Structure 1
Amino acid sequence: MTFDRRHPPKSRHASKLLTKSLLLGNCRARVADLTAISTGRQLQASARKVLLIAKV
């Protein structure tokens, strides 16, 4: 994206929108990471249960 220097308010608004979208993206990424971590832990727990059952 190129900002036109003749229209500072527009570019300012665009940068605000960009930062907003970036923040939203970060939040979504964090949520995705958290869900991945939680599912990973669940998978690990189930794998341990399976291992325990297999040992017996």
Structure 2
Amino acid sequence: MTTRIFGTIKDSQNILTKRFNLGLATIVEPEVLIDGNHPLERCWEVTSALDK
């Protein structure tokens, strides 16, 4: 995966953590689209990375 994608995910995690610490909870459900010209293995790779 590209660093840009991981950076964006990490930035979002940091923002959500700060909001949670202020007593604000946000429900987030990551969605990896299976449409497109990428293989199913790529979907699994991205989904697995989000679960860490």
How high is the TM-score relative to the length of structure 1?
0.39
**Higher Cα radius of gyration:** 1
Structure of greater relative contact order (alpha carbons < 8 Å, 6+ residues apart): 2
